[in-house]
Amino acid sequence: MTPLRWSSRLSRRALLRHGARFAGAGLLAPLWPTIAATGGIGKAYPDELLSVEAYTKGRIKTGDFITAANVEHVKDLLEPAKYHHVAKMGRRLKVVPTTTDWMKLGPWEYLEATLRHQGQARFDDTGNVVTADGQPWIGGHPFPGSDNALELFAGLTLSWGRHDANLFAMREANVADGGNVDYRYDLVWAELSPVGRLVLDPKPYWNKHADKLRFNTVVYTAPESERGASYLNIWPYDQHQFPELYGYVPHFRRVRQFPTNQRFEPLVAGSALYLSDAWAAGDPLHTWGNYRVVGRQPLLAGVSSGWNPDHPNWEHAVHGGPKNQSFFDSVVEMVPETIICEAEPTGFARAPVSKKRVWFDVRNGMPVAMVTYDRQGLPFRSFDGCYSLYEKNAQRFMNGAHPYWSWTYVHAYEFQTGRITRLEQVRELPGGHRTSVNDGSIYEKYLTHVALQRLGRV
């Protein structure tokens, strides 16, 4: 493919049209060879895709806030929910510099493995991702630089948080349409991968559980009325099978098994979050279908600078909405190229959604926004958040030899009710639950039936 030669005479509309034609390839140079050769993306894109100031011809600059007063200048760079939040609900977005160092767009080990293992992945006859010799995947993104919707969703489903194990200490606030916070929760989200392991021993597989993709637990620790409620998902590697779903019910003081396909219901009262929504790929790959690319565009999204070490517990200030409680203080930057993919819930006869639309950052295959649509095709719910290296000036939270990389905050928004769920990753919750990464003890502490019973009775 001949690289597109950028001309400043091209309009923004032409820019989007050319971006669609050359998605995944960069505009000035092929994207993936550029990343592999230089570790950066700066030589692959023109200034108009690396700088809000260049894109808007100086109307909005790095350090500025996007508000209702100037949002029309970047309307084409925002997904529908975020545009609505700014234009109608008082949300502000601070513009930060575009991340051009590719190694800052994910965990170091995961990105290094993506480079090292490129070209070794394939789908087997059943549609599962395997190595050339038919074994479970060995780590990193299996299809780097892909512009294929199924491959992008497959890479995301294989590894949500992109670490071998994560324990996220989280705070959740649920904001009603009138702006009042009517429910608050403390919760722990744990996930551990038995395959594709890059840090934890044994690697790349924990042979005892090599037939499984992940263990995932959600435990609520506050308020008292929900304390101990928990859910354990055990995912088979085969992406046609539903996870086994168990829950601890404090009222009955026992673990019970739940119907595994009921994944479109809030876990607790007031929440706008479903199990299906996790990482925009909360269900097995082949319980959804009709994967397709529907568009390509640059986007303003949060992929850096979201960590707040200035607060001792990493918590974020809030603003916007009727009571100034609706949104976290948010940052965005130019993501020069996203691929917009859709999928339909083919394995769920009673799903309330007809499809989901996900914007993937082509540089690392991570979702930067999602919108779901109801059975009538109307916007239903949306998700946007921010990823970040946990590094700011001299402050760092480390993952071994490198700063931790993860999500920092998320907004879930219901178009039809106006309800917002705010989630943020914090340092620690009462009871000694601390955010941690690649700690093998997470399994015994959080990811077994015995763990659910112990946590529920504390």
Task: Indicate whether 79 pLDDT > 90.
Answer: yes
Task: Indicate whether 10 pLDDT > 90.
Answer: no
Going through 278-378 in order, the beta strands assigned E by DSSP cover: 289-301, 318-319, 327-328, 330-344, 353-361, 367-374
pLDDT digits (tens, 9 = 90+) for 307-344: 999 999 999 999 999 999 999 999 999 999 999 999 99
Please provide residue 7's backbone torsions phi and psi, each rounded to the nearest 5 degrees.
-125, 130
Task: Please give the structure tokens belonging to residue 85.
Answer: 């939040």
Contact between 37 and 101 (Cβ < 8 Å): no
Model confidence, pTM: 0.94
Would you state the pLDDT for residue 458?
60
Please provide residue 119's backbone torsions phi and psi, each rounded to the nearest 5 degrees.
85, 0
pLDDT digits (tens, 9 = 90+) for 428-455: 999 999 999 999 999 999 999 999 989 8
Percent of the chain with pLDDT over 70: 93
Would you state the pLDDT for residue 169?
98
Percent of the chain with pLDDT over 90: 82
Task: Indicate whether 68 pLDDT > 90.
Answer: yes
Where is average pLDDT lowest: 165-179, 191-205, 219-233? Answer: 219-233
pLDDT digits (tens, 9 = 90+) for 95-113: 999 999 999 999 999 999 9
Amino acid identity at 57: K
Residue with more model confidence, 57 or 15: 57
Contact between 204 and 195 (Cβ < 8 Å): yes
